[in-house]
Structure 1
Amino acid sequence: MIDYAVVFITFFAVIDPIGTVPVFIAVTDRYEAKVKRKIALIAALASAGILLFFVMVGELILDALSIPLPAFQISGGIVLFLFALNMIFGDSKPEQEIKLVPSDHRETAIFPLAVPSIASPGAMLAAVLLTKNEVFTIFEQLQTAAVMLAVLLIAYLLMLLAGWINRIIGSGGASVISRVMGLILSSVATTNILQGLTEYFSLT
C-alpha cells in the first residue's frame, strides 16, 4: 500500500495545478469560453498520456540504457531539487511560461500548457521514481497512477474555473503558493537523493 499523502503532495508539487491557472488565463485570453474549455481538456488529456507513458515504460527505457535505478533516483532528485529552487527563488511559473505562447489553440493546449506547465520535467521524473518495479507492486503502481490522474483532474477543474480563481487569489497569490510547493518539493527531492545514495552503496 502506497502512502497516498506523500504521493499526492509530490505530484501536486511537480504538476502545480494552482500555478497552471495564471498560465492558462494568459495563454487563452484571446479565445472565447468554448475554445478555452476545449484547450483545458486537450491539455489535461495530453498531460495524462505523457505521464502515463513514463509510468509504464520509463523504467524499461532506463534498463535498455543500462542505467541503474539508484543513479536515476539520485540524478532525478538533483533535477527535482533544482526545479524546486527555481520555483522558490526564480521567476514564477506563469512568468516563465507565458513567454512561450503559440498561435493555434491546439498548439497552445500542448505547449506551453501540457508541456512544460502540467507534465513538467519534474512530473515525468516523479512518475518514474514513484513506480519503480523493484520497489512497488503492480497494484501499488496502479494506485500511484490513480493519484497522479486525480491531481491532473484537479488541474483540469482549476483551468475550467480559472477566471473565477484569478479574481480571488490573483497572479501574486498563485506565485506565493507555487513557492510554498517548491519548498515542499525540495524536501521530497532531498529524500530521493538520500535514498538513492543509500541504495547505491548497499549494492556496492
Structure 2
Amino acid sequence: MVLSIHNHKKLEPALSDYISNLVVFFVVVDPPGLVPLFIALTRGFEDRHKRIIALRGTAIAFVVLVFFAYFGKVVLQTLSIEMPAFRIAGGALLFWIAFEMLFAKRSERKERDTGEAMTDEDAHDIAVFPLAVPLIAGPGAITSILLLMDRTGGTVAGQVSVLGAAATVIGGVTLILLGADRVGRLLGRTVIHTVSRVLGIVLAALAAQTVISGITSIYPPN
C-alpha cells in the first residue's frame, strides 16, 4: 500500500509535465487549423494519394522535430547563442505566432504557402513542402521543442515526456489529415477558426512565460 502511494506520487509530476508539453505542441501545431489547408493542398488528388501525402508529411515533420530536439542546441552553441537569449527570442516568436492566430494572419500566410506550392512547377513533393515544413514542423514547433528539451535538464524521463507529447500530437494530426474531408464537413470553418483563436490566447500566455523565464535566467530574482 505504501509502495503504491509512493509510485503514484512519482507519476504525478511526470504526468503533469507530459500534459503541459502536450498542450504546448497542440497549440503551436494547431491540428484543427491544418484541416482546411490540407483539403486545399490535396484538392484533385485521389484518396490513395491523399493518404500517402498525410502519412509522409507527418512522418517527415516528426523526424524534423526529433532532429532539432537533439541537435538544435548544438547549432545554437556553434553560433554562440546561449539558451537564455534563445528563450527570450523564442518567446517573442511564439508571441508573434499567437498574434497571427488571434487575428487570422497565420491562416492567411499558410494558405499563401499552400497556393505557392500548388502553382510552382519546380516545388518539391507537397508532403515535404509545405505540409511537413512549415505547416506542421514550423518555427513555433521547432522553437517549442528546443525550449522544452532545454527545460528537462537532460533527464531521460523529461526527454521522453517531450518526445512523447510531440509524437502524440503528430499522431493526432495524422489521424485528422487522413479524415480531413470528413472532419472539415463536421466542424466547418467557423468552429475551426474559433478553436485557433482560443489556442492563440493560450499560446500568448505560454510565450510570455518563456520570455520571463529567459529574463530571470539572466537576472535572477533576489
TM-score bucket of the superposed structures, by smaller chain: over 0.9
**Conserved in 2, the CA contact under 8 Å of 1:92 and 1:178?**
no
**Conserved in 2, the CA contact under 8 Å of 1:11 and 1:126?**
yes
- Normalised to the residue count of structure 2, the TM-score between the two structures is 0.85
Bigger mean CA deviation after superposition, 99-108 or 137-146: 99-108
Bigger mean CA deviation after superposition, 58-67 or 115-124: 58-67
**Conserved in 2, the CA contact under 8 Å of 1:39 and 1:106?**
no
Q: Which residue of 1 aligns with 2:10?
A: none
Q: What is the root-mean-square deviation in Å for CA atoms of aligned residues? A: 2.0
Structure 1: distance between partners of 2:169 and 2:139: 16
Bigger mean CA deviation after superposition, 60-69 or 188-197: 60-69
Structure 2: distance between partners of 1:96 and 1:150: 28
Q: Which residue of 1 aligns with 2:51?
A: 37
Q: Shift of the alpha carbon at 1:175? A: 1.4
- Return the letter of the residue paired with 1:99: G
Bigger mean CA deviation after superposition, 135-144 or 104-113: 104-113
Structure 2: distance between partners of 1:173 and 1:15: 17
Bigger mean CA deviation after superposition, 59-68 or 88-97: 88-97
Structure 2: runs of 5+ lacking an equivalent:
1-13
Structure 1 residue 101 corresponds to structure 2 residue 113? no
**Conserved in 2, the CA contact under 8 Å of 1:23 and 1:97?**
no
Q: Which residue of 2 aligns with 1:19?
A: 33
Q: Shift of the alpha carbon at 1:96? A: 4.2
Structure 2: distance between partners of 1:70 and 1:188: 16
Structure 1: runs of 5+ lacking an equivalent:
none
Q: Which residue of 2 aligns with 1:91?
A: 105
Aligned length: 203
Q: 1:125 aligns with which of 140, 143, 167?
A: 143
Query: Sequence identity of aligned pairs in percent?
Result: 34
Structure 1 residue 171 corresponds to structure 2 residue 189? yes
**Conserved in 1, the CA contact under 8 Å of 2:37 and 2:114?**
yes
Q: Shift of the alpha carbon at 1:191? A: 0.3
Q: 2:169 aligns with which of 151, 155, 180?
A: 151
Q: Which residue of 1 aligns with 2:18?
A: 4
Q: Shift of the alpha carbon at 1:107? A: 1.5
Deviation string, structure 1 residues 135-167 (Cα, Å, up to 9, x no partner): 341321122111101100000000011111111
Deviation string, structure 1 residues 91-147 (Cα, Å, up to 9, x no partner): 352544433333689621111111111111000000100001773413211221111
Larger Rg: 2
Q: 1:68 aligns with which of 68, 82, 90?
A: 82
- Return the letter of the residue paired with 2:203: L
